[in-house]
Amino acid sequence: MFDNSLEEMPDTGMMPQLRILELNNNRIAAIPSGYFANMPALQVLNFSGNLLEVVPASLAGCVSLQFLKLHDNKLRTFEEAAWHELVQLETLFLQGNQFLTVPTSLGRCESLKQINVPSASNRLDAVFKMRALAAEGGKYWDKKGKLHENKERDAPEPSPGSKWGCARRLSAEAGLQ
């Protein structure tokens, strides 16, 4: 349903087996708060290139979500939710949302490894950087858009005192745990 000039969310009804939803490059400005409540198997959401201002809380209930691409919208905020419960989230793209306030609980998503969130606070940004660069194949884009990569094929599990193992410590210090 991408590239269709949609202005409203399509009525999906009950779709418990839906895994991929691509609504990128439309004109959708709002998603109803409970829209994702009936999509527990959702793994990929590409909603980039729309006019979205608020991320609905029901998306935090999509615990199978692995790829979240919300870049190039008009995002300002995420509704209050347990965003840290997105335990399988690997890719988070929020660039192109200049006035976005990013919830700190996203820093607790330990599976993150491809992260482009230039509007994150400095503390959260440091956690995102550590998470991405500690992960095998991890990619992190800094606030200026420069790509940093972990090019190690088999990145070892970082020890708590190592350079990369401090992501958990940083999470705790930033109040993300």
pLDDT score at 127? 96
Q: Where does the pLDDT of residue 95 fall: very low under 50, low under 70, confident under 90, or very high at 90 and above?
A: very high
Q: State pLDDT tens for residues 24-83.
A: 999 999 999 999 999 999 999 999 999 999 999 999 999 999 999 999 999 999 999 999
CATH number of 20-173: 3.80.10.10
Whether 141 has a pLDDT exceeding 90, the answer reads: yes
Question: Average pLDDT over the chain, rounded to whole?
Answer: 88
Q: Are 138 and 113 in contact (CB under 8 A)?
A: yes
The residues spanned by each domain of the chain are 20-173
pTM to 2 decimal places: 0.85
Both tokens assigned to 155: 């990145």
CA dihedral 17→87→60→144, nearest 10 degrees, is -120
- For 141, the enclosing helix (H) or strand (E) is strand 139-141
